């Protein structure tokens, strides 16, 4: 089993989900008392969030690159950035290490394609929904990506930072997300990517009329696939 390196803390609420899912998936695959071999570097999200707001992405990337070097030095044989938004600096992080960075966007797009979906709605932070770095990664896999209107984007972003990152899950916010999802479906979305790792704390499949693609779980599944693949031969 390869050792998985996790760059987490953005927020720690979703990083805890990563840790739980990785261990459950390894247990389910191997049985018995098996659990995932992993190392976690958890950053201070307040520092990262300030850099996001200021648009200081290179500095934020430097923080994550240092974390990636740390988990590689601790024995990681592949690395995950445990957040969708910070994949904006994925190339900077990959350049700092010699082991593979497993891109969350690729893992998600492959799952969407396997489901036979081509036109997909994207929920996430304003950075993820409005900037090109994530949508273009999905589009490169042949997906037609649509995002909510401005009012919908504002709601989705606010709930992430003011509630979900703090572990607050409110029924009113779930209803608001369901309304945003219905709007995407009305515009032709055949599925919806939960493109922020915290959204899975609020929205599950039963809350959507079309398939949802939970990026935390999909990223964890892809990591376990790699970790349990024997490349020795």
| Residue 196 bears catalytic tag | yes
Radius of gyration of the chain (CA): 17
Comparing C-alpha atoms, which of 97, 92, 66 is closest to residue 79?
97
Catalytic residue among 83, 108, 125, 128: 83
Question: Which is the catalytic residue, given 38, 82, 165, 196?
Answer: 196
Q: E strands, the chain, where? A: 4-8, 38-42, 78-81, 119-123, 144-146, 191-194, 212-214
- What are the φ/ψ torsions at residue 146 (nearest 5 degrees)? -125, 150
To the nearest 10°, report the CA torsion of 154, 157, 163, 169: 90
**Active-site residue flag, 165:** no
Residues with active-site annotation: 83, 196
């Amino acid at each position: 089993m390869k050792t998985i390196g996790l760059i987490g803390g953005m927020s720690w609420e979703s990083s805890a989900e990563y840790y739980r899912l990785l261990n459950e998936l390894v247990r389910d695959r191997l049985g018995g008392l098996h659990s995932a071999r992993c190392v976690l570097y958890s950053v201070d999200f307040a520092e990262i969030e300030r850099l996001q707001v200021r648009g200081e992405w290179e500095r934020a990337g430097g923080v994550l690159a240092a974390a990636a070097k740390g988990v590689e030095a601790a024995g990681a044989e592949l690395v995950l950035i445990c957040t969708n938004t910070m994949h904006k600096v994925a190339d900077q992080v990959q350049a700092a290490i010699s082991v593979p960075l497993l891109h969350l966007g690729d893992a998600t797009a492959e799952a969407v394609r396997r489901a036979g979906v081509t036109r997909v709605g994207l929920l996430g932070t304003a950075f993820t929904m409005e900037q090109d770095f994530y949508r273009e990664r999905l589009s490169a896999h042949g997906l037609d990506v649509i995002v909510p209107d401005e009012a919908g984007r504002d709601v989705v972003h606010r709930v992430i930072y003011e509630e979900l990152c703090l572990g607050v899950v409110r029924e009113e916010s779930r209803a608001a997300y369901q309304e945003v999802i219905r709007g995407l479906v009305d515009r032709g979305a055949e599925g919806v990517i939960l493109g922020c790792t915290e959204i899975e704390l609020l929205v599950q499949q039963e809350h959507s009329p079309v398939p949802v693609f939970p990026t935390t779980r999909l990223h964890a599944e892809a990591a376990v696939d790699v970790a349990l693949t024997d490349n020795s031969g």
